[in-house]
Amino acid sequence: MRWIASLIALSVASLLVGFVWLPSVHADFTARGLWDAICRAAGVPTAWSDGGLAKSGPRTTEVVFTPEMARAGSADSIGRGGTAATQQCSMCHGARGVSAANAPNLAGQYAEVIIKQLMDYRRGDRQSAAMRALSVDLTDANIRDLAAYYASLPRPRNTPVTNMATVPPLVKVGDPMRNIAPCASCHGGIEQRLGTPWLEGMPKDYLVEQLAAFASGERRNDSHAQMRNMARALTKKEIDEVATFYARAAAE
Amino acid sequence: MFLARRLVLAHFWVAFAAFGVAILLGEWQMYVRSPLAPWIDNPEHYYRSVTAHGTVMAYVLPTLVAMGFGYAITELALKRPLVGMRWAWGGFWLVIAGTVMASIPMALGQASVLYTFYPPMIASPLYYLGVVLVVVGSWIWVALMSVNLRAWRKENPGATIPLAMFGNVAGAYLWAWTSVGAALEILLLILPVALGFKDTIDAGLARVFFSWTLHAIVYFWLMPTYIAFYTIVPRAIGGRLYSDTMARVSFVLFLVFSMPIGMHHLFADPHIGAGFKFVHAMMTAMVSVPTLMTVFTIVASVEIAARLRGGKGPFGWVKALPWDNPVMLAVTFSFVMLGFGGAGGIINMSYQLNETVHNTQWVTGHFHLIFGGAIVIMYFVVAYELWPQLTGCKPLPAGAVRTQLWLWFVGMLVLTAPWHLVGILGMPRRMAYYDYSNPALAGQAWTVVASVIGGAILVVAALLFIWILWRARRGETEAAPFTFSVPAHPTHTPALLNGFALWVGMMIALTVVNYGFPIAQLALLPETSVPAVFMGGR
């Protein structure tokens, strides 16, 4: 009995030394008090510092992608979207979603991409005088209809790559030492990730402008700064190179 | 005796055929990321290959070897026909079906999540269902081992369980409880997402479940090797087993300490409390105890063999050892690799030292040295030892066997030593290519070439292994009855070491203590789910 009691006492004493006293000597130790230290050892999230998990920094986006957003819309939804699109969108984005005005093509764009961008325009998370005005009165249902309509249109395709050597290295392998992931690992080719837009055939000017905006931080509605971190590392020449690659069908 | 001959042969052949394919994938991976090849155009192909290599080497090969060896031990050590032959074949076919089922999405690129799953990445449900079938097939083996032991005990009330069977059943119980972690992860967290019922997954909880399996699975792989150390090596080199009791103690210690230590794989995971990381690190240190005990016992047994052959002096007996005996060679190589790998493992489990090597090539080097080296080289020995029993062939050509073991040993060192070195320099693992044109990396390029050469030697050794087994003719002679090692001294086995109840109880209790709270609290926290990332795109 005495043995068990001394074993328990020894364990408690070592725990206090290891998790409360020794860490508290470090200047960067943030736990305040005994209870915080216990929570930290147990892995229970707690308000380490004042104010808990306060969100700080500029707002980026509120949209979280779910596979449900990517599902094909019903015929009714596509019909309603088509009607709205003809009235509101076709001036810049083209009658069938392919732009002749350096606005992004929307034909065949993934539904969740359009949903996210419209929601970001509506909240002001993505800046554009024209798009803000056009999106501010849209309901969630309107947005889903527009996305369903554009996703149902045939998407423009680049001339197929027959020789992999002609693909810019940044597109297929990125630049690991500069922390640049290959474009194709999200935008299709290697993998098409939920929420990443279809880029083939996009107007080159639009792609260059957006990459520059990501690089400068002027556009920041990419969650976790995914695109800003890529674009910041690119030179002007590299931006031109990848934009030319993705735009090449449109240029022909 | 030996009704299970075809059953064991089937397990071994499938295991070694899969091994032969997977080792080619491994060498291809090494080659494409070396400076000898241009960067791979589609990195996904690389991860597809890594997934297949890992799935075969970690799930298919060791599971089938453990199952086949287990069935062989049941008949050879208990000296009675295997009970439940039909079930055993059923388990075998489940493993085959699971392997095929998992291979299809892997080959199509819809399962490039690596064998450790890594949620929130989500593969095709067929991949997970395939892995589940492999595990369910092996559970049938676990049950059969238990049933056979019980049947033997009924016939031999009060007798001591033969050591080989004791280790075998310990390995089976270890696996049964080990695999529960990954099974829970797949069934409760991954499959609902993979089948489309849910869009988000609790990645942190999934990692905790997998860590329950991830470390103890290594001891499941290790069990056949340790059984070979204790029950085959001393006999094969003409010695005696120094201590039968020591062998039983180390088997039960593995049973107790394998599971509650897996969080040392999660030292960099923010959702685990520092206290639990500390406890798991401490418990990890405990598993070095049965390994050190084994090293002591086997070296002592080997010394007995040397002295029986006339060896003299404190160290002079080493010269008297039968160095031309392949088993002698293999156990030496295995211990050298176990020594280096084990030392590296103690660095990995140390909370602070782990920071410097976490997710570097060091880790890849460590587990290839331990598993591919120390463990698999003894799988070769098990196959070589059992082959005359299984096929009735003449003794295998000793020269070719020695060459094969030498090649495997040298190849494994040439492969893994550079990985350890560049790991300390910070080279990350799981990379499809490295930019050697960058001055910071140019100096490390030669190490990758060295590993390619090491891998090539391993491929040759693997092909030689398969060739040696393949060319053995069936039914040439009737093999002499198989024997296991005899202890040097008459042993009295305490009742506790003649059963598993206490040890299985401790295994479950320690797992509950070390995993219960983290699992419960992660499961109850509402904000831990993240959106799933589906592989294979659209």
Burial track B164-186 (b if 16+ CB lie within 10 A, e otherwise): bbbbbbbbbbbbbbbbbbbbbbb
Looking at residues B324-341, what average pLDDT do you find? 96
Cα distance between residue A18 and residue A32, in whole Å:
16
Q: Which residue has the higher pLDDT, B483 or A18?
A: B483
Res B14 pLDDT > 60: yes
Three-class SS of residue B416?
helix
Q: Rounded to 5 degrees, what angle do the CA atoms A120, A121, A127 make? A: 110
Q: Which of B40, B44, B521 sits opposite A191 (nearest CB)?
A: B44
pLDDT-derived band at B364 (thresholds 50, 70, 90) equals very high
> What does the pLDDT read at residue A50?
47
- Chain A residues near residue B434 by CB distance under 8 angstroms: 176
- Rounded to a whole number of angstroms, the distance from the CA of A199 to the nearest CA of chain B is 15
pLDDT-derived band at A93 (thresholds 50, 70, 90) equals very high
Q: Which residue has the higher pLDDT, A24 or A46?
A: A24
pLDDT digits over A124-140, tens only? Answer: 999 999 999 999 999 99
Looking at residues A168-197, what average pLDDT do you find? 90
Residue length, chain A?
A: 252
- Chain B residues near residue A182 by CB distance under 8 angstroms: 43
pLDDT digits over B483-502, tens only? Answer: 999 999 888 899 999 999 99
Looking at residues B319-348, what average pLDDT do you find? 96
> How does DSSP classify residue B360?
B
- Domains present along chain A, CATH in parentheses: 67-152 (1.10.760.10), 164-251 (1.10.760.10)
pLDDT digits over A191-233, tens only? Answer: 888 899 999 889 999 999 999 999 999 999 998 899 999 999 9
For an interface test with A, the pick among B201, B279, B435, B519 (most A C-beta atoms closer than 10 Å) comes out as: B435
> What does the pLDDT read at residue A58?
65
Highest mean pLDDT among A60-69, B33-42, B186-195: B186-195
pLDDT-derived band at A27 (thresholds 50, 70, 90) equals confident
pLDDT-derived band at A56 (thresholds 50, 70, 90) equals low
Res A28 pLDDT > 90: no
Residue A164: Cβ-neighbour burial (10 angstroms; 0-12, 13-18, 19+): exposed
Q: Which residue has the higher pLDDT, B273 or B169?
A: B169
Q: Give the range among A21-35, B85-99, B295-309, B321-335 with minimum mean pLDDT.
A: A21-35
Whether residue A98 contacts residue A150, with contact meaning beta carbons closer than 8 Å, is answered with: no
Residue length, chain B?
A: 538
By annotation, the residues of B acting in catalysis are 215, 219, 366-368, 429-430
Dihedral sign computed on CA atoms, order A81, A82, A83, A84: positive
pLDDT-derived band at B212 (thresholds 50, 70, 90) equals very high
Count of pairs with CB atoms under 8 A, one residue in A, one in B? 79
- Rounded to a whole number of angstroms, the distance from the CA of B437 to the nearest CA of chain A is 10
> What does the pLDDT read at residue B80?
93
- Rounded to a whole number of angstroms, the distance from the CA of B104 to the nearest CA of chain A is 18
Whether residue A46 contacts residue A36, with contact meaning beta carbons closer than 8 Å, is answered with: yes
- Domains present along chain B, CATH in parentheses: 5-528 (1.20.210.10)
pLDDT digits over B389-440, tens only? Answer: 999 898 899 999 999 999 999 999 999 999 999 999 999 999 999 999 999 8
For residue B41, give both structure tokens: 């155009």
Q: Which amino acid is at B208?
A: V
> What does the pLDDT read at residue A49?
46
- Asked if the C-beta of B90 comes within 8 angstroms of chain A's C-beta atoms, the answer is no
pLDDT-derived band at A251 (thresholds 50, 70, 90) equals very low
Check residue B310 and give left, alpha or beta (phi > 0: left; psi -120 to 50: alpha): left
B44 vs A192: CB contact, 8 Å cut-off? no
Name the strand (E) or helix (H) holding B246. helix B244-257
Q: Which of B40, B199, B431 sits opposite A67 (nearest CB)?
A: B199
Three-class SS of residue B224?
helix
ipTM above 0.95, yes or no: no
B199 vs A68: CB contact, 8 Å cut-off? yes
- Chain A residues near residue B276 by CB distance under 8 angstroms: 41-43
Looking at residues B244-252, what average pLDDT do you find? 96
Residue B376: name the closest of B334, B410, B418, B414 by CA.
Answer: B334
pLDDT-derived band at A252 (thresholds 50, 70, 90) equals very low
Residue A124: name the closest of A207, A61, A35 by CA.
Answer: A61
> What does the pLDDT read at residue A166?
85
- Chain A residues near residue B523 by CB distance under 8 angstroms: none
CA-based nearest residue in chain B for residue A41: B275
pLDDT-derived band at A37 (thresholds 50, 70, 90) equals confident
pLDDT digits over A99-157, tens only? Answer: 888 999 999 999 999 999 999 999 999 999 999 999 999 999 999 999 999 999 998 77
Cα distance between residue B522 and residue B529, in whole Å:
10
> What does the pLDDT read at residue B461?
98
Q: Rounded to 5 degrees, what angle do the CA atoms A96, A100, A105 make? A: 55
Dihedral sign computed on CA atoms, order A60, A66, A67, A68: negative
Res B537 pLDDT > 70: no
- CA-based radius of gyration for chain A: 25
A-side interface with B, Cβ within 8 Å? Answer: 15, 18-19, 39-45, 64-68, 164, 167, 169, 172-173, 175-177, 182, 184-185, 188-194
Res A55 pLDDT > 60: no
